[in-house]
Structure 1
């Protein structure tokens, strides 16, 4: 009997090789590349991968698959040696050779009915092959500082987090200090800043100050405010643009907090929608007003350095721990009124630490949604006043007049919301 399932697997392996081979054929137009294989070779290697596994099943041995892989490798090595002998001053790339070996492996996956995995592998391989220029441009933009920051982020994520005890410590009634949870929040907030920086590197700095404000708000609106305030003193003619970037980061900060909260506690999506998303309207509206008002529409380069630093990440963890402990102590010994006061004071220093502390208490069901909302509103009110004060007292003189409407508008909306929930 004819087993159509066998032909289906072989055709899938052949198709994967054919598609990858077509992409490689298309890249022949780049004269600087040299390809040891084209669409026919890729198709045959993909089919060979599936057939070798088929023979493995028939013989009960992995020898056919391993032999096939070795043969393909030897043929590729011979091709590179021949190229080196005939082109002594040139170097052949190995991208196509590595792709050919991967196609052989994907063909083997097809035989085991791992068609989804094989197709995903094919798509990822196509993306890598088609993104040569973008990936090389991105690598060229990276500095030594960026590489070190990446290593640090990997250290705090992979080499510290798994070894921290996932157990709560503290005095009786205040067992809220969980090293694993605390460091997880540090990794989480650091990761947001790191990813936003990678996006800026990929998109390019030429998008101007508004893009810095947009993605900087994802990392830290306070850090972004300080960054632009410092730059504004040497570039007073761009006061409108700097103020616009700062206010835009404030709007993003509210949206970011909402996203973090509902990611950690999905049930809060409804209760937190109004208190955290309504303040976005005045800040975003004023940022758009400044964008259209500004006369300097030319694209500007933004020297946005890597936001990830190990020491600030550790400081954030300490601030988060202190705020969480004090907030819980205030709730236990002084009542929820003191919790709101502590949130106001903490928000002036670090909004994220307050938000994470409150969400942690909400997940443990130690505070009701009303107290959570009011505490967040008071913290955001203090945070807006603090950042507005930084701009007013430390920024360029033209920014003082420009920042007042934003602070007044956001604080007025926040105060109205506080009155509503009280």
Structure 2
């Protein structure tokens, strides 16, 4: 390793210790000098000591079997001494938390990684470590409020995602391209995860902010799923206004996500359809904030409710898969000549797939027709979500969702139809 690189890596190890040390020192900032085991200086030295251990290891010409002996011995000695001092402090103060000891060990190890391994990974590890340490109050508050039903749901969800999903085959089964068991189960995991993420957001950020945060985040994944999930939850006595606020926030993000896809894959379509998508997103976002502010939330009974009902998630997943299958069947029957029909039918189930498809054939069909076809898919997707809200949710939820969706579509269509007129007027009246 060249000298310049060695200095840079050692500086990174020192910086990791400094960042962690600031958080640890801030926790005990009211303690007098010599009253704390470790502060910013100690953690800076810990990170630097880990980096120096790595540099010393590099200078040794030990056989491969003994490689790592220096860093291993230094890590063991450092951990033992640090734990001893922390133990003495804990006895005096009656505080038996081991967090500072583990944080110091992790800082030392990240210092080693910064010198001997991937510097970017070491930097990311340092930031992650600080984030975990700084989240103590939020994490403790969440665990204190955690019930057995919630913990069980988390375990079931992990089993669905980590155990069942990897063993399912990817090959599609059935006509018209078939349905992939793995893809279908991914949808099930997605719906369960959205429900659980929304539940966690509400508990972590509060009832109003939690629904908005969950809706916006899940809009990046599946606004249809959050609309359906919130519709089901509206029948359990929860605030319909807040649930609609989350679903409309998801819709707003979904429109912007389509625009981002188009800006990357097909800029001509983005230029034509972009203003309409932005208009729809703004209307949806406005209704989301309006519903959230007008709500008068009552204390939610989150401690006794299961974060997601697996049977309901499975039923909803089967519904969406059936719609997707019908869309593929229509594509096989109509062919390219029925692109507009296919786009509309595809939009009923998923907007991402048809967006990528149309962007890939823009040279064949032209930007104007591509924008029209994709616009039809967006309208169909919005109408489908509104239908789900009306069919699966309570009256208050469905009515609010219908109002927001209709307003967003009207705004988008008006903008879409007005832009060519404005362009024509500009071409006719501007000097050439």
* Shared fold per TM-score greater than 0.5: yes
Q: What is the aligned partner in structure 1 of residue 55 from structure 2? A: 54
- In structure 2, runs of 5+ residues without a counterpart are 419-432
Query: Which one of the candidate residues 129, 132, 143 is aligned to 1:139?
Result: 143
Q: What is the aligned partner in structure 1 of residue 422 from structure 2? A: none
Q: What is the aligned partner in structure 1 of residue 426 from structure 2? A: none
Q: Say whether the 8 Å CA contact 2:16–2:126 is kept in structure 1.
A: yes
Query: Which one of the candidate residues 54, 58, 69 is aligned to 1:63?
Result: 69
Q: What is the aligned partner in structure 1 of residue 319 from structure 2? A: 319
Deviation at 1:187, TM superposition (A): 3.4
Moved more, 381-390 or 161-170: 381-390
Deviation at 1:320, TM superposition (A): 3.0
Residue correspondence of structure 1 range 288-303 to structure 2 within 5 A: 294=294, 300-303=298-301
Residues 359 and 228 of structure 1, relative CA distance in 2, 3 Å threshold: same
- In structure 1, runs of 5+ residues without a counterpart are 233-240
Provide, for residues 57-111 of structure 1, a one-character-per-residue CA deviation record: whole Å limited to 9, x for no partner: 2223322111111112222343455467x55x93521111111111211221233
Deviation at 1:220, TM superposition (A): 2.0
Is the counterpart of residue 181 in structure 1 residue 183 in structure 2?
yes
Query: Which one of the candidate residues 379, 383, 386 is aligned to 1:384?
Result: 386
Deviation at 1:112, TM superposition (A): 3.1
Q: What is the aligned partner in structure 1 of residue 429 from structure 2? A: none
Deviation at 1:132, TM superposition (A): 1.8
Q: Say whether the 8 Å CA contact 2:389–2:398 is kept in structure 1.
A: no
Is the counterpart of residue 38 in structure 1 residue 42 in structure 2?
no
Q: What is the aligned partner in structure 2 of residue 72 from structure 1? A: 78
CA-atom RMSD, angstroms? 4.7
Residue correspondence of structure 1 range 328-343 to structure 2 within 5 A: 328-333=328-333, 340=341
Residues 164 and 332 of structure 1, relative CA distance in 2, 3 Å threshold: same
Q: Say whether the 8 Å CA contact 2:13–2:114 is kept in structure 1.
A: yes
Deviation at 1:389, TM superposition (A): 6.5
SS at match of 1:126: helix
Residues 182 and 341 of structure 1, relative CA distance in 2, 3 Å threshold: same
Q: What is the aligned partner in structure 1 of residue 245 from structure 2? A: 248
Moved more, 100-109 or 201-210: 201-210
Deviation at 1:155, TM superposition (A): 2.2
Residues 360 and 149 of structure 1, relative CA distance in 2, 3 Å threshold: farther
Is the counterpart of residue 108 in structure 1 residue 103 in structure 2?
no
Residues 290 and 360 of structure 1, relative CA distance in 2, 3 Å threshold: closer
TM-score (ref. length: structure 1): 0.71
Is the counterpart of residue 117 in structure 1 residue 118 in structure 2?
no
Q: Say whether the 8 Å CA contact 1:193–1:220 is kept in structure 2.
A: yes
Aligned residues: 392
SS at match of 2:129: helix
Q: What is the aligned partner in structure 2 of residue 153 from structure 1? A: 157
Q: What is the aligned partner in structure 1 of residue 233 from structure 2? A: 227
Moved more, 203-212 or 18-27: 203-212
SS at match of 1:220: helix
Residues 28 and 322 of structure 1, relative CA distance in 2, 3 Å threshold: same
Residues 181 and 40 of structure 1, relative CA distance in 2, 3 Å threshold: same
Deviation at 1:54, TM superposition (A): 2.4
Give distance in 2, aligned partners of 1:354 and 1:250. 16
Residue correspondence of structure 1 range 74-93 to structure 2 within 5 A: 74-79=80-85, 82=88, 86=91, 90-93=94-97
